[in-house]
Structure 1
Amino acid sequence: MSYNLQVDIDKSSGFCFGVVYAIEMAEDILDNEGYLYCLGDIVHNDEEVERLTKRGLKIIDHEILKGLRDEKVLIRAHGEAPSTYQLALENNLTLIDASCPVVLKLQNRIKVSHDSDEQVLIFGKHGHAEVIGLQGQTDGKAIVFQDLAELDHVDLPAKFTLYSQTTKSTDKFYHIKDELISRGYDIKANDTICRQVSNRYEELENFVVNYDRIIFVSGKKSSNGKVLYDVCKKYNDSSYFVSTVDEIDQNWFAANDKVGICGATSTPMWLMEKVKSALEQY
């Protein structure tokens, strides 16, 4: 049976400027030198990481970094804690710093708050690379939480400063802020969510309502991918999350369906185009 699917890719999906910047930096060095170390996955998308590792990108963790000497190491868009820069000095490492400017600005603001003896709270994902870098600006003293329930067991001061990981949901951030204020806390709240990310909520709302089915393409490690997929699901119940072409199920579709493809800020356009080609074969 031929499904005769009509398939479109969302024009506003794909890499944000921070990811584009990091990948272009990596590719330039790979073209010239043949290899480059990268601290952590350059982007939370396994397919793109695999493409770049085939070109010579060597993904390392902080443990391997400690033993590295006299090499170039890429800092990805998520940014790093001050301790990483200190280690680079000690080990004579050249850091190719592709930290996103939005993240760097947030790191600086958090450092200023901490240096002013403010208690810092960060709404973010535990263990996320960006959050580790943010918490590092406070010598690990910032309180990180993923949802409000975690704060029920924390003895919070009457007054504190609230920040957010750049890829979190704006709605959720403001809900948390309002709830904490209603509990009587004196809060200095800083909406530090990247507008290139938050603007995509509305763009996705407008996109997904025009299709019978939505295929949302994202790496499973992407925080931003989870948030944006929830937006798709909210406005089009026939939305499916896939990381690779192999995860698509033909049974999701009916003949002549209009199918929309979209993705996270860490999803490469070539991968969405690969999904489109596969669907057009059905």
Structure 2
Amino acid sequence: MQVSIDKNSGYCFGVEFAIKMAEDEMEQSDKLYCLGDIVHNDMEVNRLAAKGLVVIDREELENLHDCKVLIRAHGEPPETYKVAIENNIELIDASCPVVLKLQHRVKTAFDKMEREEGQIVIYGKKGHAEVIGLTGQTLEKAIVVMEDSDLEKIDFARPVTLFSQTTKSTKGFYELSKKIEDRIQAAKGAPVETVDFNANDSICRQVSNREPQLQKFSQENDVIVFVSGKKSSNGKALYQVCLSENPRSYFVESESELNPEWFHSSDKVGICGATSTPMWLMEQVKNYLESLEASTLPA
């Protein structure tokens, strides 16, 4: 059995930067608070917890004083910074630059939409950390859309400005954009004018470029082992890309979930993962697969 790891998989810049900031800070202190899981991967969260990273929620943040709190790559709404000032909390801000730029764009567009009685629509998962940060730029007035049924929240007779959570599927964004455009046309009974609908593809290219890369990788291997935390939106989306190209694709959180019956001794096995998957975890999966005795696998 031949086993390889996709060289394009693993942490995106934002996640890698946040983890490096956390580790650097913990070298000087035995405890650092983190607002939410630093990454959607339980094994990495547990590794950092052993070093002193304590995960807290927003309610716990309000009761903390005179300490240090890490803001992860997903970014935070303005309310978090307000609480930090009131409670004398030093923020270690590891917000991804791509997310920060998007927050600014959303805030600017929201101010414009307020003047024009329009709406901000965000293609994303309601309750996701990044989406919370984005809706916070709009005084919580943004409409979060994920499924077709969510479109009912939009008033198609009024102007719409659309953005996307940075880790969503490019295909999904353009499909949603077309549906909104069609609804606006139906509501107005006329072609869409630029002032009525403004669609902003705000998906991170470091994420979207992985789709064609994974399609090729999935075609080149007999079996795909996709390693990701089950809470990762990006992981779920990228796994579907693999599965669409290779029906012998399996989603696992760690090597403990691997089933030897999935493999044949003559297989080329490709290991890949999400932007929240650490390289050390994919290497652990590779080592396990290489340790399987060829004699125990079907030919």
Question: Is TM-score (shorter-chain normalized) higher than 0.5?
Answer: yes
Q: 2:51 aligns with which of 35, 52, 55?
A: 55
The corresponding residue for 1:268 is 278
Distance 1:89 1:147 in 2: 37
Q: Does residue 281 in structure 1 map to residue 277 in structure 2?
A: no
Deviation at 1:154?
4.4
Deviation at 1:153?
5.2
- Aligned residue for 1:109, secondary structure, equals helix
Distance 2:160 2:267 in 1: 51
Q: Is the 8 A contact 1:123 1:147 kept in 2?
A: no
Q: Does residue 88 in structure 1 map to residue 98 in structure 2?
A: no
Deviations, residues 99-146 of structure 1 (Å, cap 9, x unaligned): 000100110111111112141000000110000110000010000011
Distance 1:127 1:86 in 2: 20
The corresponding residue for 1:142 is 142
The 5-angstrom pairing of residues 128-277 of structure 1 reads 128-152=128-152, 154-183=154-183, 184=185, 186-277=196-287
Give identity over the alignment, percent: 59
Q: Is the 8 A contact 1:217 1:267 kept in 2?
A: yes
Q: 29-38 vs 188-197, which deviates more? A: 29-38
The corresponding residue for 2:296 is none
Deviations, residues 167-220 of structure 1 (Å, cap 9, x unaligned): 001111111111221221631010000000000001111111111100000001
Distance 1:77 1:204 in 2: 23
- Aligned residue for 2:280, secondary structure, equals helix
Distance 2:275 2:218 in 1: 17
Q: How many residues align?
A: 278
The corresponding residue for 1:44 is 40
Query: TM-score, normalised to structure 1's length?
Result: 0.96
Q: 260-269 vs 149-158, which deviates more? A: 149-158
Q: Does residue 101 in structure 1 map to residue 111 in structure 2?
A: no
The aligned amino acid for 1:16 is C
Q: Is the 8 A contact 1:219 1:267 kept in 2?
A: yes
Query: TM-score, normalised to structure 2's length?
Result: 0.91
Deviation at 1:156?
4.0
The corresponding residue for 2:29 is 33
| The structure with more radius of gyration | 2
The aligned amino acid for 1:141 is K
The corresponding residue for 1:123 is 123
Deviation at 1:57?
0.3
- Structure 1 unaligned segments of length 5 or more: list them: none
- Aligned residue for 2:160, secondary structure, equals strand
- Structure 2 unaligned segments of length 5 or more: list them: 186-191, 293-299
Once superposed, which parts of structure 1, at least 4 consecutive aligned residues long, lie more than 2 Å away? Answer: 152-158
Q: Is the 8 A contact 2:119 2:158 kept in 1?
A: no
